[in-house]
C-alpha cells in the first residue's frame, strides 16, 4: 500500500511539472505578442497622431487580450470620423483605418461657427471653409440631416445651395448660388422642391428672384415672363 501511494505521488509530481512547463511556455508566448506598432490611417498627420497617443495611453499590452471597446471609446470622441475599422496584424501591430466625415454646412451656435458633419457631429470651424452653405436658424442636427436627405432625393443639386433658412414652424427656405430664394412647404418639401425646379430650369423664366412653393399645386414667382 505504501509503495502504491509513493508511485502515485511521483506520477502527480511529474504531471505537475509538465503542466507547469506548458503554462509557463504559454505565458511567454503571450508576453511575446505585445503591441509594438499602432498605425492610424485616414486623417491628417496631426489628428492621426492624437488618436495614436490616446490609444497608447490605454497601456495596451497583449494583442490577443486588448479591449476593443476601450479603443472605440477613444476613437468615437473624435468628431472628424465618419466610420472606422480596427485590424490586428499579428504578432504586434494594430492598424486603424478611418473614413473622414464630409463637411456639409456651417452653423452659428452661441456666437461660434461650427461645421456640420455627415456623421451628425459638430466640428469647430478651423478649416475656414466658406464655400459650404450656411444654416440660418436653430434646427437640430438631425432636422438638418433629414432635410438634406429630402434635398438629395429632389432634382436640385446640393452644390447649388448657398444658404439654408430654418424657421420655428419647422419650415425651410433655400437661397441658391444665383441668389434665387425658394420657399418650401412644411408638409411636403420634396414635392415643393421638384415643382420649383421646373421653373428654375425653364428658359422662359430668367432672373427669377423668388419661387414660392409653399401652397400645394400653386407656384408664385416674381420674374417677368419673356
Residue 24 has pLDDT above 90, yes or no: no
* Range in 87-101, 115-129, 196-210 the model is least confident about: 196-210
pLDDT in tens, 112-126: 999 999 999 999 887
Query: In this structure, which topology does domain 32-100 adopt according to CATH?
Result: Ubiquitin-like (UB roll) (3.10.20)
Query: Which pLDDT score, from 0 to 100, does residue 33 have?
Result: 67
pLDDT in tens, 182-201: 999 998 899 999 988 888 88
User: 100: which residues sit within 8 A by CB, 6+ positions away?
Assistant: 42, 43, 80, 81, 82
Query: In this structure, which topology does domain 103-221 adopt according to CATH?
Result: Rossmann fold (3.40.50)
Query: Which pLDDT score, from 0 to 100, does residue 8 have?
Result: 44
Instruction: Write down the domain spans for the chain.
Output: 32-100, 103-221
pLDDT in tens, 48-60: 999 999 998 888 7
Query: Which pLDDT score, from 0 to 100, does residue 224 have?
Result: 52
Residue 205 has pLDDT above 80, yes or no: no
The closest of 83, 65, 169 to 121, measured between CA atoms, is 83
pLDDT band at 19 (very low <50, low <70, confident <90, very high): very low
Q: pTM of the predicted model, to two decimals? A: 0.78
Amino acid at each position: 500500500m505504501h509503495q502504491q501511494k509513493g508511485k502515485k505521488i511521483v506520477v502527480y509530481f511529474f504531471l505537475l511539472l509538465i503542466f507547469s512547463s506548458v503554462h509557463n511556455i504559454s505565458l511567454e508566448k503571450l508576453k511575446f505578442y505585445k503591441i509594438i506598432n499602432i498605425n492610424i490611417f485616414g486623417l491628417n498627420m496631426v489628428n492621426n497622431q492624437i488618436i495614436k497617443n490616446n490609444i497608447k495611453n490605454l497601456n495596451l499590452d497583449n494583442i490577443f487580450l486588448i479591449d476593443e471597446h476601450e479603443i472605440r471609446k477613444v476613437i468615437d470622441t473624435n468628431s472628424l470620423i465618419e466610420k472606422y475599422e480596427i485590424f490586428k496584424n499579428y504578432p504586434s501591430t494594430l492598424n486603424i483605418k478611418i473614413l473622414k466625415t464630409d463637411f456639409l454646412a456651417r452653423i452659428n451656435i452661441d456666437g461660434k461657427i461650427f461645421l456640420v458633419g455627415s456623421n451628425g457631429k459638430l466640428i469647430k470651424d478651423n478649416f475656414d471653409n466658406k464655400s459650404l452653405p450656411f444654416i440660418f436658424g436653430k434646427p437640430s442636427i438631425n432636422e438638418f440631416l433629414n432635410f438634406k436627405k429630402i434635398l438629395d432625393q429632389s432634382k436640385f443639386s446640393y452644390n447649388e445651395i448657398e444658404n439654408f433658412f430654418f424657421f420655428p414652424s419647422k419650415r425651410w427656405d433655400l437661397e441658391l448660388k444665383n441668389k434665387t430664394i425658394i420657399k418650401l412647404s412644411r408638409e411636403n418639401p420634396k414635392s415643393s422642391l421638384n415643382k420649383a425646379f421646373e421653373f428654375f430650369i425653364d428658359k422662359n423664366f430668367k432672373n427669377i428672384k423668388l419661387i414660392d412653393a409653399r401652397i400645394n399645386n400653386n407656384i408664385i414667382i416674381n420674374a417677368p415672363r419673356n
